Chain A
């Protein structure tokens, strides 16, 4: 198991374009989280899934943001009509509700750094 992976690691796009990020959680982790981190700030929660069900999405920053986890494994985060203010690091994390040894721990991926020109 190599941990949480995210693709791409870096994305540069022009304002108005759509972007999609992928997150592969640790295998058999049933919870998956998305956070956003801007410079000088801590991670900010966006949304999370249990298996394929999206349990909370009220923190998604606008209706331009959407996330899916169609088969309960990998997840995608899409930003439509990107704006310069969307430039940030997008972090994915996963956790297990069944592994007692790490029940309360969220394991983070390396992040995708988005730059909107």
Chain B
């Protein structure tokens, strides 16, 4: 069975400071990893994904995540956060290339302090 652990339920960060949101997974098969973001009063949106190839993946708004197979991690990072990054971030794993069920972590609430 697959599982995802997000150890940090809340992360407060000063504006323009760097941030890392941690995600660890367990799976007995090939994994496909995702970060979804939920802005206040909005639905879940895909932020970035790792399917294969380069272990470093990037989003259009400056976030990046690195797949580390030996540490079974897929941590999300951003070098300088903005107020608009305030949201809840969910890490997810799929064994079906993203087109079958997603197993989500419990989420990390990122709060940006002005």
Contacts and interface: CB of A to CB of B under 8 A. Distances in A.
B29 to A, nearest CB: 16
Interface in B75-109: 90, 92, 97-107
B45 interface: yes
A91 B98 contact: no
Interface residues of B, number: 25
B97 A45 contact: no
Nearest to B4: A42
B90 A106 contact: no
A104 B51 contact: yes
A104 B103 contact: no
Interface in A40-77: 40-45, 48, 55-56, 59
A110 B98 contact: no
Interface of B: 4, 6, 9, 32, 36, 42-46, 49, 51, 90, 92, 97-107
Given A44-B104, A48-B100, A104-B32, 15 more contacts: A3-B43, A31-B99, A42-B4, A42-B6, A42-B90, A42-B106, A55-B100, A91-B43, A103-B97, A104-B49, A104-B99, A106-B46, A106-B99, A106-B102, A109-B43
Interface of A: 3-4, 31, 33, 35, 40-45, 48, 55-56, 59, 91, 93, 95, 97, 103-111
